[in-house]
A and B are shown apart, each in its own frame.
Chain A
Amino acid sequence: KNEVEQSPQNLTAQEGEFITINCSYSVGISALHWLQQHPGGGIVSLFMLSSGKKKHGRLIATINIQEKHSSLHITASHPRDSAVYICAVEGGGADGLTFGKGTHLIIQP
């Protein structure tokens, strides 16, 4: 079973700061997902990646398959970015996702 570790667990930053959230996993995967969970519980998929780097607006996600590590970056952070960010991995086949415990991010004005 894959072990997914995220760091930090909690992060408070000031508006405008550059944010980095890390994710590592123990077993080779076919894809890694970054998810955003809002206070009400709803989940939005931010990225799905299996190699390299993806960028969407102020969000950047990278993955290093050899090191079994991924990072999510937020540039020019804003209070509306406050949420729980979850890393999830999937293996081959039709298995569902294995989740990290999430990083609780608070961006203060």
Chain B
Amino acid sequence: GAVVSQHPSWVICKSGTSVKIECRSLDFQATTMFWYRQFPKQSLMLMATSNEGSKATYEQGVEKDKFLINHASLTLSTLTVTSAHPEDSSFYICSVGRQVRETQYFGPGTRLLVL
């Protein structure tokens, strides 16, 4: 299966700062990557679909100006949480799939704590 890495695995920051999270597909080229977040004791929620070379597609209720996604290459997508606030504290996870209708491979996730 595919190997997906995320960096960092943990980040603690002050309110108002921006945080960048990287998602890398290590062994295949991913034209599409998905970003999810999970609040404590809640289900994962799709935030956005990251498309290589074009704009990301955001789910309803997700602010595109706050959660900046850059998918500049076939192996890297970045999610930047701009001007982070405590309510943005969550578990952020990305996934890739070779194609729609195939197994999704998940990154290990990034825990963000905004103080």
* Interface residues of A, Cβ cutoff 8 Å to B: 30-31, 33, 35, 41-45, 48, 50, 86, 88, 90, 92-102
Contact = CB atoms under 8 A, between A and B. Distances in A.
B43 A94 contact: no
Contacts, number: 62
B100 A42 contact: no
Contacts of B46: 95-98
B91 interface: yes
B43 A100 contact: yes
Given A41-B111, A43-B93, A93 B100 contact: yes
Q: Chain B interface mostly helix, strand, loop or mixed? A: strand
A81 B82 CA distance: 38
A80 B46 CA distance: 28
B75 interface: no
Nearest to B31: A94
Contacts of B1: 45
B106 A86 contact: no
Given A43-B93, A97-B34, A90 B44 contact: no
B25 interface: no
A41 B44 contact: no
Given A43-B109, A96-B34, A99-B44, A90 B101 contact: yes
